[in-house]
Amino acid sequence: MTTTFKTNPQLDEALTKTVIKLLTENADIEFISEVTGYNYETILKIKRNFNV
């Protein structure tokens, strides 16, 4: 049995904005991961793409 998750663009946008805000406030990546549920690689990708 496989679980399928539907993507929610509004949620993705809100979480991305949260990651950017936390990165600009020098939050720890581990903390950001716990808050957003994003893994380390995703957070680094956001950091790189938005030059934070």
pLDDT on residue 5: 54
Per DSSP, the residues of 19-43 read HHHHHHTT--HHHHHHHH---HHHH
Instruction: Please tell me the distance from the alpha carbon of residue 10 to that of residue 1, in angstroms, as a whole number.
Output: 28
Place of tokens 């990546």: 29
Report pLDDT digits (tens) over 15-50.
999 999 999 999 999 999 999 999 999 999 999 999
pLDDT per residue as tens digits for the range 2-22: 445 567 888 899 999 999 999
The DSSP letter of residue 7 is -
Cα separation, 38 vs 43, in Å, equals 7
Selection from 46, 37, 48 nearest residue 8 by Cα:
37
